[in-house]
Amino acid sequence: MKILAYRQQAKEALRYWLRQRIARRYPAQHLPPAQWHLAWEEKQGTEQAPRLMLQGHALHALAERYGTPLHVVNAAQLQANLAGFQQAPLCRVYYSYKTNPIPGLLAYLHQHGAGAEVISEYELWLARQLGVPPERIIFNGPAKSDRALRWAIEHSIQAIHANHLEELQRIAALAQTLGKRARVGLRVTHGGWQGQFGLSLAQGEAAAALAWALKHPHLEVVSLHCHRGFLIRTLEDLDGHLAPLLAFCAESHAQHGWLPTLLDIGGSLAIPSVEEHDAATTRRLWTFYIPPSAPNPALTLSPAAYSQAAQSKVAAFYQSRGWPLPEIALEPGRALTGNAQMLLTRVLELRHAQPAIHAVLDAGISIARSAREQFHQLFPLQAHSRPTQLYRLVGPICHPGDTLYPAWNLPQLALGETLAIMDSGAYFTSDASSFAFPQPGVLAVLPDGEICWWRQTETYQDMVAADSLPLPPETLSW
Amino acid sequence: MKILAYRQQAKEALRYWLRQRIARRYPAQHLPPAQWHLAWEEKQGTEQAPRLMLQGHALHALAERYGTPLHVVNAAQLQANLAGFQQAPLCRVYYSYKTNPIPGLLAYLHQHGAGAEVISEYELWLARQLGVPPERIIFNGPAKSDRALRWAIEHSIQAIHANHLEELQRIAALAQTLGKRARVGLRVTHGGWQGQFGLSLAQGEAAAALAWALKHPHLEVVSLHCHRGFLIRTLEDLDGHLAPLLAFCAESHAQHGWLPTLLDIGGSLAIPSVEEHDAATTRRLWTFYIPPSAPNPALTLSPAAYSQAAQSKVAAFYQSRGWPLPEIALEPGRALTGNAQMLLTRVLELRHAQPAIHAVLDAGISIARSAREQFHQLFPLQAHSRPTQLYRLVGPICHPGDTLYPAWNLPQLALGETLAIMDSGAYFTSDASSFAFPQPGVLAVLPDGEICWWRQTETYQDMVAADSLPLPPETLSW
């Protein structure tokens, strides 16, 4: 036992020494609250530490009043992101529902002119519930039910995108049964996602499927769709994505006189303030407790720059050939909603350890897995002037995988203190499970400062609502 | 474009050749249905292919009648697993709620004598709803709310396990306020999970915390708890886990005259038919489409062998010192429920490709992530005598990560055909999210053949039940 303890201590001492050296070489760069239009409260001359403010609301007060964990949506940011995508008149936005399928948020986007990109029967049902007109719905995804396809064909939605010839054949057969012409598009790939996703341009699958579809009396081929898969950050990324699509348009025009009236360039635009941890960062984080640095937001195209660049590129290509301009469909997900939402959380437990104090949060991987794998700025909701301390921030689940921030420097934390995990507007709610804890609600702060619940916090009763309880539920005091 | 295509073709040809060679060296071993007390239907002389049967029910018929995806629980298997753990009279079972928190399943286990191991306020609430007596509840986890702790102290539950000194101090303070003595235990670690989980034996943290707790007038230290973390399969694994605990008992007895009356050895026993894919298997699977082989179930201790071995080991140690025997608390999770449940799924789409046809299932990583990372036997629910074909089985989500079986040989599949993913009784339901598709229901087949819903299949309305819909929901025809 004692030898083990000495060995452990020697190992820790070595790691500590290495850590000091590495930490000096990699000082963590953080982003300021202004990146999200947040600001610290003006000093009131009181003893209270300044609080982080959003549209006149102290986020700490929202956490106290509505409980944690809690998603807070900044609707003004949502509107600004959407307006950016809409700046190029040729471009129309179809929001990727799966990214953040909160009906209140979707309805807000629809009110401001966004359409719906859906990938399942459920999402199509939701778009209908929200009153999205069929011509503003695009239906993607590898698993379209017959029932959903029938509705889509009968109501002539904007486009049904087929991933492969077998799917195209199924759509054609359904359209024939209904005595309709289905508005379809080809989903193609050029080196990104493959497998079940799309027809290869390089291997001629796309050309063969187009030739087949153009001849079918029950298909109207309106669209060409491609989703890059890998994130787009720069003009070069965007150009590399568009070039093979435009080349295919030229080929198809030469061969069949066919051009898409809808050129759907998919999603994939990155969130400027979020970045996947690379292998070196991951190793430094987990082995040596070196906090990660923020990406430089200026290196990622803004929604406005992205849509304008896409429009210029496509318009130049089409106009130089004298072709009529297409509608450019954008399917932004993370870039539209990612940075318009944050997750408020609270410190439940503190355990002193070396080199980092372990702080147990009420948010863990079951509701915030992305924060483990990507850089997400973290703010304390009150600016205490206490000395800084290294923390490992973990979730509430009884499993060591439930670690969100392996290392992060913060002013000394007290039990009950609140924090904000930024950029929770992409894949946090859609990926969430009710693992031993209820899921957070979603509270919207509207541009005029009004607050409304978009999704209620899950209750214990909700968690067993679909269950056959063998005993009559008692009314419990908590 | 053409050069790219040739390069791609050359690469594929090379991979195909390598694949053939590797595949011969690693023929996939499967497990027979009898491993799960399933059997193929007796030939009726009809044309129909024999179906896979459970307690007189054709699983295919259940899938047709109740829809897919669908979890089916084999309650006889559940009962047999539990009885195994109960064979050693010193051992008592506290089921790890987080592993599969379906109230119907939990109630069934409680009816057959299992207690509850809970890790959150919600799980404690659920145990109360199910009428579990306080003395059959153990409260673990790194995030215990004050409210839950107060209830646990007031009702003298079997044990509250503290992970570290700070938590012990919080429990003591709450007990003092309530004028009670809290029944606590120390969670200790010996090289498995660390961080927020437990007091290190090697570094003396456990000894220091024990000395502190024994002196506190509001704490009654009844228990010693240790969860191995790494899976236990063999007697050696179990011995290696128990030895440091027993050594700590001897030390504590020598120093303080203290012995735990409850020795809680945690969970970690493996499912015999499930195994994490190792790095080599993963590489063969993903790069070369080589299907994985099943583990040999005989290499994993059965519940009966495990509990009897634990009892022998502990009893021998205690008896040789003339100490009174403790209760041995077992907290099985996966080993109790893992192989008593299966997930029925259906083929929604087929795409021909080389070297494997892509079959899109209605079950993907959002409800069956474990099947991506571990060996889970897969059965077609009808034994067609068609030629065998290599498949890549993917989920319905529009993302390439949604692949469950990168390679698996099956008799040629048709659209709509049904399959069973075995051993879905651990972490499938607790980890599940409603990503673009509703979550499956849980149907129990009782030992007498009776069928009952334990959890209803999620509906679209359920998925937006907590939402503020800006429009009144229409009544839709689907």
Please give the full DSSP string across B414-471, using - where no structure is assigned: -TT-EEEEE---SSTTTT-B-SSSPPPEEEEE-TTS-EEEEEPPP-HHHHTTTB--SS
Task: Please give the Cα distance from B190 to A402 (Å, whole number).
Answer: 20
Whole-Å CA distances, A333 to A96, A146, A196: 5, 26, 21
Task: Please give the Cα distance from B330 to B267 (Å, whole number).
Answer: 6
Task: Please give the Cα distance from B127 to B221 (Å, whole number).
Answer: 23
CB spacing of A469 vs B436 below 8 angstroms: no
pLDDT of residue A477: 45
Rounded to the nearest 10°, the torsion over CA A207, A208, A211, A215 is -150
Within 8 A by CB and 6+ apart from B232, the residues are B238, B241, B268, B269, B270, B301, B306
**CATH 2.40.37.10: which residues of chain A?**
32-71+339-458
Task: Please give the Cα distance from B167 to B163 (Å, whole number).
Answer: 7
Out of 2.40.37.10, 3.40.640.10, 3.40.50.2300, 3.40.50.800, the CATH code matching A32-71+339-458 is 2.40.37.10
pLDDT of residue A193: 66
A391 lies within 8 A of chain B by CB: no
Tokens coding A79: 């509107």
Minimum Cα–Cα distance from A147: chain B residue: B478
Low-confidence ranges of chain A (pLDDT < 50): 472-478
Sheet bearing A57-58, strands edge to edge = A39-40, A52-54, A57-58
Task: Please give the Cα distance from B60 to B48 (Å, whole number).
Answer: 12
**CATH 3.20.20.10: which residues of chain A?**
76-334
- Give backbone dihedrals phi and psi of A419, rounded to 5 degrees, phi first: -135, 160
Shortest alpha-carbon distance between residue A111 and chain B (Å): 10
CB spacing of A349 vs B128 below 8 angstroms: no
> H/E element holding A76?
helix A75-85
Task: Please give the Cα distance from B204 to B33 (Å, whole number).
Answer: 49
A398 is catalytic: yes
Within 8 A by CB and 6+ apart from B33, the residues are B39, B40, B52, B379
Task: Supply the ipTM of this predicted assembly.
Answer: 0.94
Shortest alpha-carbon distance between residue B249 and chain A (Å): 14
CB spacing of A142 vs B102 below 8 angstroms: no
- Give backbone dihedrals phi and psi of B336, rounded to 5 degrees, phi first: -90, -45
Whole-Å CA distances, A297 to A79, A281, A337, A458, A464: 19, 18, 16, 34, 43
B166 lies within 8 A of chain A by CB: yes
pLDDT of residue A400: 82
B345 lies within 8 A of chain A by CB: no
Q: Does CATH number 3.60.21.10 belong to domain A76-334?
A: no
pLDDT of residue A1: 53
B15 lies within 8 A of chain A by CB: no
Cβ contacts (< 8 Å) between B403 and chain A: which residues? 195
pLDDT of residue A399: 83
**CATH 3.20.20.10: which residues of chain B?**
76-337
B115 lies within 8 A of chain A by CB: no
Shortest alpha-carbon distance between residue B246 and chain A (Å): 13
CB spacing of A8 vs B151 below 8 angstroms: no
B202 lies within 8 A of chain A by CB: yes
Minimum Cα–Cα distance from A194: chain B residue: B400
Helix (H, G, I), strand (E, B) or coil at A409: strand
- In contact, B198 and B187? CB cutoff 8 Å: yes
Task: Give the distance from CA B317 to its chain's centroid.
Answer: 31
CATH topology of domain B26-40+48-71+339-458: Lyase, Ornithine Decarboxylase; Chain A, domain 1 (2.40.37)
Cβ contacts (< 8 Å) between B462 and chain A: which residues? 465-466
- In contact, A107 and A130? CB cutoff 8 Å: yes
E strands, B134-205, are 137-139, 159-162, 182-189, 199-200
Shortest alpha-carbon distance between residue B137 and chain A (Å): 16
Shortest alpha-carbon distance between residue B240 and chain A (Å): 14
Task: Give the distance from CA B284 to its chain's centroid.
Answer: 26
pLDDT of residue B477: 45
Q: Of the candidates B98, B128, B202, which has its C-beta nearest A398's C-beta?
A: B98
Task: Please give the Cα distance from B37 to B380 (Å, whole number).
Answer: 16
Tell me the CATH number for domain B76-337: 3.20.20.10
CA angle A146, B424, B305 (to 5 degrees): 165
Cβ contacts (< 8 Å) between A193 and chain B: which residues? 400
Whole-Å CA distances, B59 to B38, B51, B140: 10, 7, 37
**CATH 2.40.37.10: which residues of chain B?**
26-40+48-71+339-458
Task: Please give the Cα distance from A341 to A343 (Å, whole number).
Answer: 7
Give per-10-residue mean pLDDT for chain B (478 aa).
Answer: 70 83 88 97 79 96 97 98 98 98 96 97 96 97 96 98 96 98 96 79 94 98 94 97 97 97 97 97 93 97 98 98 97 98 97 91 97 97 93 91 95 96 98 97 96 95 85 46
CB spacing of B467 vs A142 below 8 angstroms: no
B460 lies within 8 A of chain A by CB: yes
Q: Which of A249, A398, A463 to mutate to test the interface with B (most CBs of B within 10 A)?
A: A398
Residues 230-289 of A with CB under 8 A from B: 244, 247
Q: Which residues pair with B160 in a beta bridge?
A: B139, B184
Q: Of the candidates B130, B436, B464, which has its C-beta nearest A120's C-beta?
A: B436
CB spacing of B400 vs A229 below 8 angstroms: yes
